[in-house]
Homo-oligomer: A and B are copies of this chain.
Amino acid sequence: MKKAPTIRDVAASAGVSVSVVSRVLNPDSGPVAPAKRQDVLRVIDELGYRPRAAARELSAGHALTIGLVVTDLSNPFFARLADRIVWEARSHGIQVVLMTTQEDPHLEADSLDTLLDRSVSGVIATPTGGNIEKWARLQDLGVNVVFVDRTIDELANVDVVSIENFDSAKRSTQHLIGLGHTRIALVTGPLSTSTGRARINGYRAAHEEASLAVDPLLIRDVPFRGDSGGDAVGSLLSMPQPPTGLIVANTAQVQSSVRRLVQVGIRIPDELSVIVFDDNPWTELMSPPLSVIRQPLDMLAVHSLELVLGRMQGKLSADPRLIEVKADFLARNSCAPLAQTAIH
């Protein structure tokens, strides 16, 4: 087990001072004679020298690292988001430290502390909703925070990247209303989340515009974790007047909800028209393929990274940004006109 060479080894071997080597390593940090630059580069190559990140960070005061804080990677939405972010970050020479919260504010708090220890220069996160002071403190210490997918209203100065939640929910609802449905169920996220509220509002707006009353019993705000989606679906289907349309707007509960539908054996779309918020590849493999709201992950990833990087380089004005990207509605065969439903 060898020891890795240091900058002083390189300097000695090239017959120059460490300052020169450092300047070769960081162009624009000072002049170096072309001949010596060549020497140094040759020695670096021969020795296989690589500067140690810890030393660099210590002296710089911050790391070329960002933290990515998501609920968990078993949710394909976050997995693919993480994949894109890691990919984008790499192309900017930035590493990603991954932390998961399991929707637990305590674990989230831990993660933030750890990221602080690491002096990350930025954090991209899907916040649980708690830890308001902690987030504020993070920003206070100069960490650039970007929330993706969700936001926390109490935090005014955070950049946010999300999809057009209100609009997506509204369009989905309108689509079902357009097919003649009047009893449309909505399974969405907790009311404590911005996402959950926006989607309910969109759902309501669609009803209002169509002069339809909203049955509050058809709206189910359920947690992100556990099997709550399936339970909600079960409960909805056993109502005296069960819904003829269903929108699952809680991405984390789509799988659970659909599993229940399959278990119960309800015929889609004959007995129930279904739309889910998720562009998981498998939605297309089901029979019938599910109509979905496709969340443009690339855009979410690109924009959030752009914001973090922009802040890191001080390129952005002080005021917080809110970027909402459009989500596509993809009609497949899981929705049918109510008339058809009535036949059965």
- A interface, CB within 8 angstroms of B: 1-4, 48, 50-55, 57-58, 63, 65, 68, 72-74, 76, 79-80, 82-83, 86-87, 90, 95-100, 102, 107, 110, 113-114, 116-119, 137, 140-142, 255, 258-259, 262, 280-282, 284-287
Contact = CB atoms under 8 A, between A and B. Distances in A.
A68 B82 CA distance: 13
20 contacts: A1-B142, A2-B140, A3-B141, A52-B58, A53-B117, A54-B55, A54-B57, A54-B63, A54-B118, A72-B83, A73-B83, A76-B76, A76-B79, A95-B118, A96-B97, A259-B285, A262-B284, A262-B285, A282-B286, A286-B286
Nearest to A48: B137
Given A1-B140, A54-B63, A87-B102, 8 more contacts: A2-B141, A4-B116, A52-B119, A53-B118, A73-B79, A79-B83, A97-B97, A286-B287
A99 B86 contact: yes
Number of copies: 2
Contacts of A113: 50
Nearest to A59: B54
Nearest to A58: B54
A303 to B, nearest CB: 19
Contacts of A142: 1
Contacts of A255: 281-282, 285
A244 to B, nearest CB: 21
A80 B90 contact: no
Given A100-B87, A142-B1, A285-B258, A117 B82 contact: no
A284 B86 CA distance: 30
A57 B68 CA distance: 21
A110 B280 CA distance: 30
B100 A50 contact: no
Contacts of A96: 97-98
B87 A82 contact: no
A68 B95 CA distance: 12
A136 to B, nearest CB: 12
Q: Which of A50, A57, A63, A255 has the most CB of B within 10 A?
A: A57
Contacts of A98: 68, 82, 86, 96-98
Contact of A116 (B50, B57, B90, B141): B50
Nearest to A96: B98
A114 B96 CA distance: 11
Nearest to A287: B287
A74 B118 CA distance: 27
Contacts of A68: 98
A55 B52 CA distance: 12
A151 to B, nearest CB: 22
A114 B141 contact: no
Contact of A282 (B3, B4, B119, B280): B280
B80 A73 contact: yes
Given A63-B54, A286-B287, A287-B287, A95 B76 contact: no
